[in-house]
Chain A
Amino acid sequence: MPDELVAVTFDGHSLQARKGVKLIDALDDAGINVPRFCYHPRMSAVGMCRMCLVEVKGPRGVSLQPSCYIDVADGMEVFTESDAVKKAQHGVLEFLLANHPLDCPVCDKGGECPLQDQAFAHGSGETRFVEEKRHYAKPIPISRLIKLDRERCIQCDRCTRFADEVAGEPLIDFAGRGGTLRISTFSNVDFDSYFSGNVAQICPVGALTTTPYRFKARPWDLIQSASTCTQCDMGCQVSLQSSQNELTRMLGIDSDAINHSWLCDRGRFSTSEVNNVEHRVTRPRLKDQDGTVDVSWTKALRAAASTIKRAIDERGASAVAVLSGTSLTLEDTYAWAKLASDVVRTNAVDGAADVRIDGSLLLENPASINEALAARRLVLFNVDPKNELPVLHLRLRAAIRAGLRVVEVNAVPTDLTAIVDRWIPIDPGNLGTTIDSVVAALDGDLDDVVVMAGCRDRALGASLNTALLGELLSRVPRAKVLSGIAHGTNALAVGFAPSAPRGIRSISGVEPSMNADSIVAAALRGEIAVLVALDSDLMGLGLTEDELVSLSERTTVIALSSFESATTRHATIVLPMSAFGEQQGSTLNIEWRHLRLGRQVEPVGQARSAWMVATELASMLGDELGFMTLADITRELAQSGGILSGLGLHYFSERLDGPLFPLSRKEEIRMQRVLDPMATPGVASIERQGANFAAGNVVEPSESPGFAVGMGETPKSLPSAKSSAVARVIELEPLSEGEHWLSLVPRLYDSSPELLANPFLKLAIREPVLVVAPAVAEELGLEDGGHCRLVGAGSAEVTVRHAKDQTLFLALHGVTPATQQLLGDQSWVKVRVEKSNG
């Protein structure tokens, strides 16, 4: 819907402005920049700093008004350059500087500080304030990640508004009044939030800084490029910054389609793990009888190729398995998919181990994030946005505040449950009625429904999850689907996983049919000769370390990895892989949007991109993948006839985030701000610095007009997923004496090799916690804070916490190698509880 326009007069010029926007935004549109500190376009206006005053003509003459707060109106006459405006702005600036320390040279914000910029541009140069300034204790940590310097604070309410309004976690707030108004956390309680880094990004002065970035670099030394955070498949747009070949900082870019400038801490601070060379695999190495030796790439690859070749020759292609983690780029994933299917010709391939859902359901009628948030009804099916796609949680909160009606379907409540319209429990004892309840909760409003579908609960088997979703989609046939899988979209899109949508692949060869679980099981039985772990820690698949050791005695494990892990410790051949920020490429997010990845620093040591390794391995195996550059891969995908038909890098020259795939999808493109010009004025915008996307990699130099309306080919029609999904949900076998249903849900900070490599975030990792209903706790004699042992397919020792409300399950929060061992291949995991002696 195009914006309605109204006629306005700005500084004597008759113009048109978008109706209903804040005057400050209308002035921005007109190229008139009014100084500001408290205003943030993604939060409600508070009009606190008073910097944005302009003169507005009203019925009683001209008066000063905060342009950030008043709406633009038809016939509005505004003056931004009058003497009165200049004097008022000058006055506010002087007031702000009165108590502000003059320590710019040692302030982290120096060089990108709007207060400093304003003072330079408009300050009088000499101070009339001869009194004693306010004093506070100098930087105090308000969490492990954030430090607060109250003397520099200008009380703009940005951080506090963010915590309250955006994150819904008002853990920092103002304290005091008047001249003593200051930011504060509750005594000794940390600002403990997944989203804490945002407050440092939006702080317009140096009052809030992040511990990882403090004193690391000066803004003018930074180089930056546009990239995409790959910690989950939300695809948050970022400015990736470095200094002297080290990643220094990541800032959220305001992409209207995706992250609205926010990032979660997992993503924002992921640069710290990339920099942590101690935890990185830096050179190829081989293990033989004499131990581990560093070798050249050629030697390592030759060894890999010969073992693979021998395995194929002696035991058949299926004896070679490839398991992939989820941090590979689209190009990496495609190269390996092609290697596995066309060269090795194995069906034992899974690049989306966590996806326990039929990917076909996700792609049949896809919705974008913005469509989902604008739908009349959104069904959240087995997803926990806060822990799986954190920034989506923020977007959802904002949408719910603005009136979005949400029905949540989950075994265990999430942090959104309190604010959604309806919560429908998935009850293993009563599965048959789940979907009836969901449909009933839609109140017959079935026309504009988006279902966001995921596989949050690890205890729910793929078949059951798919069956439930399939039934829901067949009951709400016009529903669109937004994928809610946190990792693995690239693998699904190129057919590099058994859960990939059927029929999208055009790579000739073998389709994956063994999934990660069956591959691991086969390996443990000795049926796999070579197991390639692509940035994947096998410990994350439910193996104990003992099992891993015995597996690696019978199976040659080839680990291509950025980070050291149990798998690299026990692997026979270890190959260093470049990490986030070290390589060019692209990726897809949950809405199947194509997003760029920037290379900002050189890979550490001898690390290489996974796609290059794949091409070299192919040629050592006597075959060719057929590409020499990333552009070759892009071109091949573009012509593949799959959902990525029409893929190209030229889109990125028009906007930071790319188009939705398949290209036939329509999308209205909104204006976007790159970096909040207020908080980071000194850092040149990404656009000015250039995208740092090497020209040689661009396939067709920007020849396409845009991508609003169906560009490119619609993919050949896919077989309907719904029809093939199980129509009716299976009944589960009831519990026997002493058994309990288990729910296993991930948290953002669950141990993984990358997180353990992060010196800041690893401190946030917590032990898994078993949440039990008070009645069950009493029955089992489990004390709050005590321990117990759960016995399922394997067993795990866990800490107990009593739930506030009744819950149907034993809800285990925290996915770790130990808790993964509880899972078997049942439709729904059952466990027994043993009191532990500990």
Chain B
Amino acid sequence: MTDRIVGARLHYEDSQTLERFLATGGDQGLRKALLELTPQEVADQVTTANLLGRGGAGFEAGRKWSMLRKAPRRYLVINGDESEPATFKDHLLVENDPHQLVEGATIAAYAIEASFVVIYLRGEFALGLERVQQAINEAYARNALGRSIFGSSFSVDIVLQPGAGAYICGEETSLIESLEGKRGFPRIKPPYFPAVIGLYGEPTIVNNVETVSNLPWIVQHGGEAFKELGQGRSTGTRLFALSGQVRRPGPYEVEMTKITFRDLIFDQEYGQGLDPGRELLAFIPGGVSAPWFFPEHLDIPLGQDEVAKAGSMLGSGSVIVMDDSSCPVRSAWRIARFFARESCGQCTPCREGGAWIDKILRRIEEGEGRESDLDLLLDLCDNISPGIKWPPAQTTICVLGPSIPPSVNAAIQHFRDDFLIHIKEGRCPHA
């Protein structure tokens, strides 16, 4: 694990404690921001850093902040709902460096002049919730939160909100609905950004946990220093979550674009390759919404645009590895099933289409498929996401629906024979 920015403290056993935090540069960024910089100057540093959002969409944080509608009251919401399958970086950060998160959130609040901040954590993160609440309590106790923080004129409250188990609440407008006490139905667009109409109808910034965890470092070292890491639009480091059939799954903070997927999966420093005798079947570069990659994509560097150019996305930074002992039909089914279970149910194509695709794939997996099912699957995918292209077109409100087709399509296009063996012989060639 490379400890660089957000993960700098993680190698300490007691990284979650206030003592360790303060002993390793804690509060420095916040003090500098509040006592030496104006909100605009903080925002400018972030713009210079070209910090891309770490929640999945990869939108520049500085640009997002600048879109905030002018209004007397503004809100900041930190998205810690992390439920994208195989994504576990925020889990790590909230449990093991909660003070950094609170500090980062406070800096962001200062930069956008927010009146009220909510940290929305996935409800299942029981330990993380305990620790972040403790960090918040301790921050109030030392006046790193509350009225006139550190003697500055800046005051702000942070409230910790637990989710209650619904993947869709990671989508920012759904999260806001949930935060307003409702079911997590994503809001229809336009408006395209909560920065225009967000929480309680007021302009609101939603930023991911990892995104704001970078802020203490950026304020301390300057946006330029951050930008020097990585290259092009992909600056700084990212916490990649490596999982699946590699020998050493785990979170790895690496400088963006400086290593390739081959490095991440096979290098001793990172994944250490596959089990002996196994071949790489496929891997997913950025969470299960992303189109799959295959061995020929191994040398693509871990950079936002590089991956996009190859037809997929870096998304939430989770890399899932499948070796040749796994069944692509089963993987595609399990991913489709996830989306079917997690659809909020508003849009007909997602609600009905997701459930339908789940049922067909399961039928094929269980040996009850028909050859015509393959065209049917692709056509249903096309009705959710016309053209099944990347980035996706959509017939739905949010992109959960259009996240269903990529895996189904990738599996059918690349592993058609596997499907046909399931269908014709009623068995799995990988079993």
Touching chains A and B, CB distance < 8 Å: yes
Using a CB–CB cutoff of 8 Å, the interface residues on chain A facing chain B are 45-51, 53, 63-64, 66, 69-70, 84, 87-88, 90-92, 94-96, 98-99, 128-129, 131, 154-155, 157, 174, 176-181
The chain B residue with its CB closest to the CB of A156 is B348
* Complex: A222 Cα to B383 Cα, angstroms: 38
A485 to chain B, nearest CB (A): 38
Looking at B89-97, B106-114, B303-311, B355-363, the stretch in contact with chain A turns out to be B355-363
B393 at the interface (CB under 8 A from A): yes
Q: Which residues of chain A are within 8 angstroms of B352 by Cβ–Cβ distance?
A: 95-96, 98-99, 179
The answer to whether the Cβ of B188 comes within 8 Å of any Cβ in the partner chain is: yes
Verify A179–B386 contact, CB threshold 8 A.
Answer: no
Interface contact B395-A88, CB-CB below 8 Å: yes
B412 at interface, CB cutoff 8 A? no
Q: Is the CB of A50 within 8 A of B356?
A: no
B166 within 8 A of A: yes
Per-residue 0/1 for B188-228: is the Cβ within 8 Å of any A Cβ (1 yes, 0 no)?
A: 10100000000000000000000000000000000000000
Q: Which of B332-367 contact A (CB under 8 A)?
A: 340-349, 351-356, 359-360, 363
Please name all residues of chain B whose beta carbon is closer than 8 Å to the beta carbon of A49 when the two chains form the complex: 348
Cβ of A178 and Cβ of B356 under 8 Å apart? no
How far, in Å, is B44 (CB) from chain A's closest CB?
28
Give the interface centre of A47, A50, A69, A181 by most chain B CB atoms within 10 Å.
A50
With CB as the reference atom, state the residue of chain A lying closest to B356.
A98
Q: Is B396 an interface residue (CB 8 A)?
A: yes
Whether the Cβ atoms of B349 and A178 lie closer than 8 Å is no
Q: Are A178 and B345 in contact (CB under 8 A)?
A: yes
Question: Which one of A53, A128, A174, A177 contacts B166 once the chains associate, using CB atoms below 8 Å?
Answer: A177
A125 to B363, CA, bound (A): 24
Name which residue of chain A comes closest to B394, CB basis: A64
**Inter-chain contact B183/A174, CB cutoff 8 Å:** yes
Known contacts A87-B386, A131-B359: A95-B394 contact under CB 8 Å? no
Query: Please, how many angstroms separate the alpha-carbon atoms of A66 and B349 in the complex?
Result: 13
Closest to A62 in B: B393
Is A50 within 8 A of B166, CB to CB?
no
- CB of A831 to closest CB in B, whole Å: 44
Residue of A45, A48, A99, A180 near B346 (CB, 8 A) is A48
Q: Are A95 and B348 touching (Cβ within 8 A)?
A: yes
Pick the contact of A50: B343, B393, B395 (CB < 8 A).
B395
* Contact B356–A46 (Cβ < 8 Å): no
List, in ascending order, chain B residues with CB within 8 A of A95's CB.
Answer: 348-349, 351-353, 356, 383
Residues on B with beta carbons closer than 8 Å to the beta carbon of A70? 190
Contact between A178 and B347, CB atoms less than 8 A apart: no
Question: Could you show 21 A-B contacts with beta carbons less than 8 Å apart?
Answer: A49-B348, A50-B348, A63-B393, A69-B188, A87-B382, A87-B383, A91-B353, A91-B384, A92-B395, A96-B348, A98-B356, A99-B355, A131-B360, A154-B348, A174-B183, A174-B345, A178-B342, A178-B344, A178-B351, A178-B355, A181-B346
Further 13 A-B residue pairs, CB within 8 A, beyond A84-B386, A98-B356, A178-B344: A48-B397, A50-B347, A51-B348, A53-B395, A63-B393, A69-B188, A155-B345, A177-B166, A177-B345, A178-B345, A179-B340, A179-B351, A181-B346
| Top 10 A-B pairs, shortest CB-CB distance | A91-B383, A181-B345, A95-B352, A178-B343, A179-B355, A131-B359, A47-B188, A178-B345, A95-B348, A48-B346
> A317 to B119, alpha carbons, bound, how many Å?
82
B159 interfacial contact with A, CB 8 Å: no
Residues of A within 8 A of B360 (CB): 131
CA distance in complex: A48, B349 (Å):
10
Q: Is B37 an interface residue (CB 8 A)?
A: no
Q: Which residues of A contact B349 (CB under 8 A)?
A: 50, 91-92, 95
Q: Number of B residues whose C-beta is below 8 Å from A? A: 34
Task: Select from chain A the residue with minimum beta-carbon distance to B345.
Answer: A181
Report B373 CB to chain A, min CB distance, Å. 9
Does A155 lie within 8 Å of B383, measured CB to CB? no
B386 touches A131 (CB 8 A): no
Q: Is the beta-carbon distance between B351 and A155 smaller than 8 angstroms?
A: yes
Across the interface, which residues of B come within 8 angstroms of A66, CB to CB? 188
**Nearest CB in chain A: distance from B340 CB, A:** 7
What residue in chain B is nearest A49 (Cβ atoms)? B348
Smallest CB separation, A402 vs chain B (Å): 15
Question: Interface centre among B188, B340, B348, B384, by most A CB within 10 Å?
Answer: B348
On whether the beta carbons of A177 and B183 are closer than 8 Å, the reply is: yes
Q: Is the CB of A179 within 8 A of B343?
A: yes
CB distance from A124 to the nearest CB of B (A): 11
B344 near A64 (CB under 8 angstroms)? Answer: no
Report A-chain residues with C-beta under 8 Å of the C-beta of B342: 177-178
Q: In the complex the two chains form, what is the Cα distance from A669 to B226 in whole Å?
A: 63
- Report chain B residues within 8 Å CB of A174: 183, 345
- Bound-complex Cα distance A162 to B296 (A): 54
Residues of B within 8 A of A87 (CB): 382-383, 386
In the complex the two chains form, is A91's CB within 8 Å of B395's CB? yes
Q: Which residues of B contact A69 (CB under 8 A)?
A: 188
Q: Which residue of A lies closest to B184 (CB)?
A: A177
- Chain A residues lying within 8 Å of B356, measured Cβ to Cβ, are 95, 98, 129, 131
Q: Closest B residue to A182 by CB, please name it.
A: B345
Docked CA distance A189–B40 (Å): 53
| Shortest CB distance A669–B (Å) | 32
Alpha-carbon separation in the docked complex, A87 to B385 (Å)? 11
> For the complex, what is the distance from the CA of A98 to the CA of B350, rounded to whole Å?
13
B397 and A47 contacting across the interface, CB-CB below 8 Å? yes
Question: Which residue of chain B has its CB nearest to the CB of A37?
Answer: B348
Query: From A132, which residue of chain B is reached at the shortest CB distance?
Result: B359
Is B376 among interface residues, defined by CB-CB distance under 8 A? yes
Partner of B343, one of A47, A51, A177: A177
C-alpha spacing A319/B356, complex, angstroms: 79
B283 to chain A, nearest CB (A): 28
A88-B394 Cα distance, complex, nearest whole Å = 10
In B2-23, the 8 Å CB interface with A consists of none
Per the bound structure, the CA–CA distance linking A174 and B344 in Å amounts to 11
Shortest C-beta distance, A106 to chain B (Å), equals 23
**B350 nearest CB across to chain A (Å):** 8
With A84-B386, A87-B383, A87-B386 known to touch, is A50 a contact of B396 (CB < 8 Å)?
yes
- State the Cβ distance, A678 to closest chain B Cβ, in Å: 15
Q: Which residues of B sit under 8 angstroms from A98, Cβ to Cβ? A: 352, 356
Q: Which of A51, A174, A176 gathers most chain B CB within 10 Å?
A: A174
B contact residues around A48 at 8 Å (CB): 346-348, 397
Partner of B344, one of A45, A47, A96, A177: A177
Query: Which of B188, B351, B386 has the most chain A CB atoms closer than 10 A to its own CB?
Result: B351
**Shortest CB–CB separation between residue A25 and chain B, in angstroms?**
17
Residues in A with CB closer than 8 Å to B354 are: 178-179
* B310 CB → nearest A CB, Å: 21
Chain A residue, CB-CB nearest to B355:
A179
Q: Could you say which residues of chain B place their CB within 8 Å of the CB of A63?
A: 393
Q: Chain B nearest CB: distance from A287 CB in Å? A: 63
Q: How far is the CA of A131 from the CA of B360 in the complex (A)?
A: 8
B363's nearest neighbour on chain A, judged by CB, is A131
In the complex, which residue of chain A has the Cβ closest to the Cβ of B383?
Answer: A91
Using Cβ atoms and an 8 Å threshold, which residues of chain A touch B188? 45-47, 66, 69
B164 to nearest A CB, angstroms?
11
Q: How far is the CA of A181 from the CA of B123 in the complex (A)?
A: 21
Contact flags B376-411 to A (C-beta < 8 A → 1, else 0): 100010111010000001111100000000000000
Residue among B166, B352, B397 facing the most chain A CB atoms (10 A cut-off): B352
Q: Mark B80-100, 1 if CB is under 8 A from A, else 0.
A: 000000000000000000000
A179 to B404, CA, bound (A): 15
Q: Which of chain B's residues have a CB closer than 8 A to the CB of A99? A: 352, 355
Contacts of B397 in A (CB 8 A): 47-48
B280 to chain A, nearest CB (A): 33
Note all chain B residues with C-beta closer than 8 A to A154.
348
Write out the residue numbers on chain A whose beta carbons fall within 8 Å of the beta carbon of B353.
91, 95
Q: How many angstroms from the CA of A50 to the CA of B401 in the assembled complex?
A: 12
Expressed in whole angstroms, the minimum distance between the Cβ of A172 and any Cβ of chain B is: 14
Residue from A49, A154, A181 whose CB has the most chain B CB atoms within 10 Å: A181
Q: Which of A47, A63, A96, A177 gathers the greatest number of chain B CB atoms within 10 Å?
A: A177
